[in-house]
Amino acid sequence: MGENRVFDYIYGFTIFSDITAHGIEMIQPGYVVCRQLAKAFDTFSPMGLG
């Protein structure tokens, strides 16, 4: 077996970036609403297939 058959088991992969607006997150550190808002903007979770 070994390295020769590794691609027999891998169908694909996905790349995901979790982007956060730290300036908004730090308005009130630890405050859940600001933390959620800092991740809620359009284009803040780009995802691509490989």
Note the pLDDT of residue 17.
82
Note the pLDDT of residue 15.
84
Structure pTM?
A: 0.43
Instruction: Judge contact between 35 and 25, C-beta under 8 A.
Output: yes
Note the pLDDT of residue 6.
80
Q: How does pLDDT run across 1-50, given as a tens digit for each residue?
A: 567 888 888 888 888 888 878 777 777 766 667 667 777 778 777 787 55
Tell me the domain boundaries of the chain.
Answer: 12-49
Note the pLDDT of residue 12.
80
Answer positive or negative: Cα dihedral of 23, 29, 33, 36. Answer: positive
Q: Can you name the residues that pair with 49 across neighbouring β-strands? A: 14
